[in-house]
């Protein structure tokens, strides 16, 4: 595990208040954490601090509805090909999905959540029969109910795909369990009257969300048997909104309402784009929760997170444009800086505002998964990657993880979570927000909205 810590910056009264909400081991700075782990046990960790502000709400139109027939056909092909990952890399006996396509990779519970959602989507699109999709979802649920290693309803990040046992001394993960539960609940909603909905509800109700707060109002990133709670907390904007929503919407183990306001919403701007930003500037932080939750008509203290993700995507694009003389990869309209594999291993690539670590490596899923926010700009990247570089970048499971022209580097790997975000985001784009519509109707999501008094307007 590698930890890179920055110096504390000037704190507002609000951030001083947040320090009092942390468990003892967290006091000492307005700290937040970026973590994304990969096959091999790599864990990227970066500490940070900033100042709380807000951005105004904006109305948003579904401009992706204006995509051409040819564009939609290409996106459908990409979505179907990308889905094949889950057929090939999900264990036939346990239903657990591998973290990556690399030989010997463990199962990832987040990838498994995306697989469950993808199987149900595949059934609706005719790529799987209703029966086969049902059997795949049921098999995974049975493993989660009876075999997969867990603690207080939270599952270990990495599992042996054959047995469901903990592997690599991985942590019980808060965000990965949330992504798994989102997939469980969404998948079950496609099979009304089969019993899967009740089983999904019981799995969700088993999660002791308040336990992961460790006596504070902030979620820990995880827990280990010998170490206890990890000393890193979701205390700033990142991909954890889905965790917040599911925990606040629970009837069996709800967290305090104050949990929603305990984390800071720091803002900064780049090229006139004002953004409630994630420290690394990685695109995935603006995408993962949005695969499930429709934020288009939700206002949080004046913040519209859908518009926020649009601004972050445009900033990512313009950051690449401004650096295209330094890196050849960013030329010809290519953008999409997000955490991914790179020539030197897995890195937290991103744009400003934020850390903005970059070396010319583009994550293939980056621009594609921003399609709901920036359809025109994303389509340019999709076309360029597919038509000009497809011979090296596109394979039987869709776009490979990442590439870097400057280093003459192309990976042959696929990552399960990044395959999943493509499938779900394109389903929302191509089928009138169907994932959003299903997920927003779930009782726990409605309770989250009601408890937090988030302002909504009819879509």
Q: How would you write the chain as a 3-class SS string?
A: CEEECCCCCCCCHHHHHHHHHCCHHHCCCCCCCECCEECCCEEEEECCCCCECCCCCCCCCCHHHHCCHHHHHHHHHHHHHHHHHHHHCECCCCCCEECECCCCCCEEHHHHHHHHHHHHHHHHHCCCCHHHHHHHHHHHHHHHHHCCCEECCEEECEECCCCCCECCCCCEEHHHHHHHHHHHHHHHHCCCCCCHHHHHHHHHHCCCHHHHHCCCCCCECEEECCCEECCCECCECCCCHHHHHHHHCCCCCCCCCCHHHHCECEEEEECCEEEECCCCCCHHHHCCHHHCCCCCCEEECCECHHHHHHHHHHHHHHHHHHCCCCCHHHCCCCCCCCCEEECCEEECCCCCCCCCCCCCCEEHHHHHCCCCCCHHHHHHHHHHHHHHCHHHHEECCEECCEEECCCCEECCCCEHHHHHHHHHHHHHHHCCCHHHHHHHCCHHHHHHHHHHCCEECCC
pLDDT in tens, 136-163: 999 999 999 999 999 999 999 999 999 9
Q: What is the pLDDT of residue 264?
A: 97
The percent of residues above 90 in pLDDT, for the chain, comes to: 84
Report the pLDDT averaged over residues 438-452. 97
Which of 42-46, 167-171, 201-205, 277-281 has the least mean pLDDT?
Answer: 42-46
pLDDT at 322 over 60: yes
Report long-range pairs for 381-389 (Cβ below 8 Å, ≥24 apart): 381/333, 381/334, 381/335, 381/336, 382/74, 382/75, 382/78, 383/71, 383/74, 384/332, 384/333, 384/334, 385/334, 386/74, 386/78, 388/332
Rounded to 10°, the helix 69-88/375-383 angle is 70
- How far is residue 356's CA from residue 339's CA, in Å, rounded to a whole number? 11
Q: What CA–CA distance (Å, rounded) separates 250 from 384?
A: 44
Pairing of strands 228-229, 222-224: antiparallel
Chain Cα centroid distance, residue 165: 24
| Phi, psi angles (nearest 5°) of residue 150 | -150, 170
For the residues 189-201, what does the mean pLDDT come to?
Answer: 96
For the chain, the distance separating the N- and C-terminal CA atoms, rounded to the nearest angstrom, is 44
- Kindly state the average pLDDT of the residues 227-241: 97
* Contact present, 18 and 216 (Cβ < 8 Å): no
Residue 22 clears pLDDT 70, i.e. is over it: no
pLDDT-derived band at 43, boundaries 50, 70, 90: very low
Q: Name the CA dihedral angle for 271, 272, 273, 276, rounded to a multiple of 10 degrees.
A: 110
pLDDT digits (tens, 9 = 90+) for 91-107: 999 999 999 999 999 99
- Number of CB atoms found within 10 A of residue 425's CB: 25
Inform me whether the pLDDT recorded for 38 exceeds 60: no
Would you say residue 40 has pLDDT above 60? no
CB atoms within 10 A of CB 252: 13
Q: Summarize the confidence of residues 311-324 as an average pLDDT.
A: 98
What are the structural domains of the chain? Answer: 2-447 (1.50.10.140)
Judged against a pLDDT cut of 50, whether residue 28 lies above it is answered with no
- For residue 43, how many other CB atoms are within 10 A of its CB? 18
Q: Which two tokens stand for residue 74?
A: 């290409």
What distance in Å separates the CA atoms of residue 12 and residue 18, rounded to the nearest whole number? 10
- pLDDT reading at 263 higher than 70: yes
Neighbours of 145 (CB within 10 A): 12
Q: How far apart are CA 303 and CA 130, in angstroms?
A: 39
Residue 333 burial class via C-beta count within 10 angstroms: exposed 0-12, middle 13-18, buried 19 and up: middle
Backbone angles phi, psi at 45, to 5 degrees: -135, 130
Residue 61: the pLDDT is 41
Please report where in the chains the tokens 């022209």 appear, as a residue.
405
How many whole angstroms separate alpha carbon 159 and alpha carbon 156? 7
For residue 456, name the pLDDT band (cuts at 50, 70, 90). Answer: confident
pLDDT exceeds 50 at position 165? yes
Q: Are 337 and 347 in contact (CB under 8 A)?
A: no
- Asked which of 47-51, 198-202, 222-226, 339-343 is least confident by mean pLDDT, the reply is 47-51
pLDDT confidence of residue 251: 97
Query: Which residues, other chains included, contact 290 with Cβ-Cβ below 8 Å and sequence gap of 6+?
Result: 305, 306, 309, 372, 425
> Residue 198: what pLDDT?
97
* Predicted confidence (pLDDT) at residue 18 exceeds the cutoff of 60: no
Average pLDDT over residues 47-71: 53
Q: Is a pLDDT exceeding 70 seen at residue 15? A: no
Q: What is the mean pLDDT of the chain?
A: 88
Tokens linked to 448: 């989250």
CA 454/CA 299 separation, integer angstroms: 6
């Amino acid at each position: 595990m590698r930890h890179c810590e920055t110096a504390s910056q000037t704190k507002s009264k609000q951030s001083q208040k947040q320090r009092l909400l942390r468990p003892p081991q967290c006091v000492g700075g307005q700290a937040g954490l970026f973590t994304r782990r990969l096959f091999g046990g790599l864990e990227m960790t970066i500490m940070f601090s900033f100042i709380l502000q807000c951005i105004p709400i904006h109305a948003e139109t579904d401009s992706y509805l204006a995509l051409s027939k040819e564009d939609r056909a290409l996106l459908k092909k990409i979505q179907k090909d990308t889905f094949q990952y889950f057929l090939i890399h999900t264990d036939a006996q346990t239903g657990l999905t591998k973290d990556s396509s690399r030989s010997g990779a463990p199962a990832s519970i987040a990838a498994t959540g995306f697989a469950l959602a993808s199987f149900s989507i595949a059934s609706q699109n005719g790529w799987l029969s209703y029966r086969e999709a049902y059997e795949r979802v049921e098999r995974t649920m049975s493993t989660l109910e009876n075999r997969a290693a867990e603690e207080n309803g939270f599952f270990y990040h990495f599992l042996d795909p054959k047995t469901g046992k903990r592997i690599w001394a991985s942590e019980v993960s808060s965000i990965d369990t949330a992504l798994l539960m989102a997939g469980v609940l969404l998948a079950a909603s496609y099979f009304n009257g089969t019993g899967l909905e009740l089983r999904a509800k019981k799995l969700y109700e088993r999660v002791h969300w308040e336990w992961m707060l460790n006596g504070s109002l902030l979620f820990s990133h995880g827990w280990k048997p010998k170490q206890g709670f990890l000393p890193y907390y979701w205390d700033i904007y990142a991909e954890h909104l889905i965790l917040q929503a599911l925990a606040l919407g629970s009837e069996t183990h709800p967290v305090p309402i104050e949990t929603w306001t305990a984390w800071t919403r720091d803002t900064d701007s780049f090229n006139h784009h004002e953004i409630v930003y994630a420290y690394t500037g990685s695109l995935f932080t603006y995408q993962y929760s949005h695969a499930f939750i429709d934020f288009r008509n939700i206002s949080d203290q004046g913040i519209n997170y859908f518009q926020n993700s649009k601004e972050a995507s445009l900033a990512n694009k313009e950051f690449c444009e401004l650096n295209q003389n330094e890196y050849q990869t960013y030329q010809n309209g290519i953008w999409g800086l997000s955490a991914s594999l790179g020539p030197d291993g897995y890195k937290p690539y991103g744009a400003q505002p934020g850390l903005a670590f970059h070396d010319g490596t583009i994550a293939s899923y980056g621009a594609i998964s921003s399609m709901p926010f920036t359809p025109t700009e994303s389509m340019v990247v999709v076309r360029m990657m597919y038509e000009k570089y497809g011979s090296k970048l596109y394979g039987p499971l869709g776009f490979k993880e990442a590439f870097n022209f400057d280093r003459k580097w192309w990976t042959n790997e696929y990552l399960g979570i990044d395959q999943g975000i493509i499938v779900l985001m394109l389903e929302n784009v191509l089928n009138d927000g169907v994932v959003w519509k299903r997920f927003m109707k779930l009782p726990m999501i409605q309770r989250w909205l009601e408890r937090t008094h988030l302002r909504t307007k009819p879509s």
